[in-house]
Amino acid sequence: MPKPSTLLPLILCLAIPALAQSPAQSEIDKDLFEVTVPQLHALYASHKYTVTQVVQWHLARIHKYNGIYRPIEQILEKEALAQAAQEDATANEAATVGDPQWIFQDCYDPNGCGKSAGIAQTAATAANKHIETGPHGPLWGIPIVLKANTSIAGQITTDGWAGYTIPGKELIAPRDATIVARLRAAGAIIIGHTNMPDFAASDTNRSSSFGRTGNAYDVRFSPGGSSGGTVTAVTSNMTVLGNGTDTGNSIRMPAATSAVVGVFPTRGLVSIAGIAPLDWLLDNTGPIARNVTDAAIALSVMAGTDASGKPTPDPLDPRTAEAPAKAQPGPYTQYLKPGSLKGRRFGVPAFILKGTDVPFQGIAAIVPQAQAEAEELRTATPLQPATRAAFLKSLDGLRAAGAEIVFDDNIMPDSFAKIASRVGTLPYIREGTENFLKDFGPALYHSPEEYEKAVGKPLPRTVIGDSGSNDRRGLPAQSQAHIETDPAYAANVTKPREEALKIFDETLKRYHLDGYVYPATQMPPPDETMPQNGEISGGPHSETSWVNILGVPAVVVVGGFYPGGLPFGLEISTRRWHDGDLLGWAYDYEQHTHHRHPPTLVESGLLPDASWQQK
C-alpha cells in the first residue's frame, strides 16, 4: 500500500470534459445523484431500478474518482454486488420496500419532495394497498460506507495504521461491530471502508495505511479528520451515507468542511463496540449524510430502536445501559417537522468565540494547575475572521425560522473551559484498546502484549498510553490504570465532568435556552499544498472537544459557503438524551436555508496514484 511522508507532491487540478452519455445513463445519473433514502426506496417500489443497478452506479463513481480524492481505502465490490443480488432476488419473490413511513421520510415540505414526489406517491399507494408483501428494513438497498476503524467481519480493520496491515498479521475482524450488524439487518449494503488518519488521531486525513484524502470541493484542501474519508465519499455521491467516529470533533469538523450533516449522538445512545478506540471514554459514532432525514433514519438503525422506539442496550458497551430509560424514543424521523425552530432560544458559547481551548483528552489531576493553564494557552485556537463572518451569517437562517440567538459573555465563559479541561482521560486509553482487541482482535492477537509478540514491536503510545513520567505533551503523566480500580478516576474524570455538565445545564436553565450554537471549526479548510504556520497542515481545528467530555448530543448542518467556495458548518448542541429535538431543529434549519450544493469533481490532476512520495 502507498505510504505517507512529509512531502506534498500535489499539482493544480484540471477538469476533464465529461463524455457524452446515453439517454439511459443520463436518466439514472439524474435519478441517483443526490438521491435520498426515501427517494431511493420510492424508485425501488416503482421497479425503476434494481439494487444491483444502484450499487453498480455508486461503485462506478468510486472507480472514476477514488484515484483523485481517495476517500475509500477498501472497495468491497464483490461483497456488495453479492448482497445486492440477494436483495434483488428477495424483491423478486414479492418483497416490499417497507413501511410507508420510510418512503415519506423527507416528504415534510408542503410543496412536495422534489424530483421523486410523484414516484413516492405511487410507491406509497402501492404499499398502502398491500400490492406487495413482506417486510424490508429501513435501509434496504441503500449503499453505505464505514470508517476504517469500524469492524466488518472478514475485513481488515486498518484503523488508518500500516501496523494493522502487515501481511499475515492483519487485524482481520472476527465479527461485525454492533452498529454494522444493525445496519446489515436494516438492509444496508456496505460498499467500502473509508480512509482515516492513523488511529483517528488527527484533524486532517492522512494515513500510513492508505495516504491522503482530499476535499471534494477542492482536492488541494483538507476534508478534516478523522472522518474525512466518509464525508468525502458521501458529499461526492460515491455512497448515500456512512458512519463517522468522534473523539474530539471527528464527525462534526469533517462534516463542516464538506457540506454534509454529521450527528454526534448522546454518548450511550449508540454502541461503540467493535470500533477501534482512540480514547474509549470520549469515543462516539454516528451517521454522516447529505441531509438530516437520511441521518435521522440511520441514527434510528444505529441506536437499535425497537418497535416501541426505545434504543437497544449493548452488553459490550456498558454506557448504553441507560439509553432505553432516558433517550427520546425513535424513530428519529418523527421529530422532523417544519416550525421546530420557532420560539427556540440558542446561546453562543463565549469561550469558543474567544478561542479558549479545552485540550484534547484533557489534563489529568496529577498536572499542577499552572502547567495546565500553560497548556490551555499553548493549544488555544483563535476564531479566524472568515469563520466568524460565516458563522454570523449562518445565524440568519435560524432567525428566519423563528429562533432567537443570545450572545452574552457569561454563556459558557472561560471558566467552563477550564473546568472541562481537567477531565483527563489519558491514563485510561490502554484499557479501551485491551477491551477492543479482546473482543474484535484477530486470531493472532487479542491484547497489546500479544500484538507485540506477534509483530515484534509494541502498539504506539497513541492507543496504549504513556509509560514514562511525562505524556506526549511533556506534562506529568499518571501510569495507565483501569477505571474500575483506579482511586484517582473520580478526580481525573468523574468530578470535573459533573462540574462541567452542571454549568452546561444550569446555563441553559438560567438563560431559558434550548441549546447552544457555534461554528464547528475555528477556521476554513486549509490548503494542504502550502505550509500552514511553517508546517504541514494538521487542520482545520475546532474548539468542540468539550462535547465529547460531556457526552451531550450535537449536530453539524450546512451553514453556508466561504467566498472561495469551501463549505462552512454550523454546530448545534443540547441536553443529553434530547437527540430527537436536536434533529428536528437541524431539519427545520435545512428546510429554511437549503445551503447544500454538491461539489464538482475532477477526473485528473494529482500524481498517478494520488499518494505520497517516500523520503
Residues belonging to the active site = 147, 226, 250
481 Cβ contact partners less than 8 Å away, ≥ 6 residues apart: 427, 428, 431, 488, 489
Report how far apart, in Å, the C-alpha atoms of 439 and of each of 267, 274, 302, 320 are: 21, 8, 19, 17
Amino acid occupying residue 251:
I
The 3-class SS string of 234-286 reads HHCCCCCEEEEECCCCCCHHHHHHCCCEEEECCECCECCCCECCCCCCCCCEE
* Contact (Cβ atoms closer than 8 angstroms) between residue 118 and residue 36: no
**Whole-angstrom distance, CA of residue 257 vs CA of residue 253:** 7
**Whole-angstrom distance, CA of residue 552 vs CA of residue 571:** 13
Q: Is 156 helix (H, G, I), strand (E, B) or coil?
A: strand
* Contact (Cβ atoms closer than 8 angstroms) between residue 303 and residue 331: no
> What contacts 24+ positions apart, CB below 8 Å, involve 47-50?
48/119, 50/84, 50/88, 50/91
Amino acid occupying residue 517:
V
Nearest to 85, CA basis, from 63, 47, 46, 55: 55
The strand order across the sheet containing 72-75 reads: 72-75, 189-194, 143-147, 241-245, 285-289, 261-264, 554-561, 567-573, 515-519, 345-348, 404-407
φ/ψ of 44, rounded to 5, equals: -65, -40
Q: What angle do CA 157, 183, 42 make, to 5 degrees?
A: 135
- Residue 183: enclosing H or E segment and its boundaries? helix 178-185
Nearest to 163, CA basis, from 610, 425, 438, 464: 464
**Whole-angstrom distance, CA of residue 529 vs CA of residue 537:** 9
Cell of 573: 448542541
**Whole-angstrom distance, CA of residue 216 vs CA of residue 234:** 10
CA dihedral 549, 555, 557, 561 (to 10 degrees): 0
**Whole-angstrom distance, CA of residue 294 vs CA of residue 583:** 11
Q: Where are the alpha helices (DSSP H) in 338-428?
A: 350-354, 369-378, 385-400, 414-421
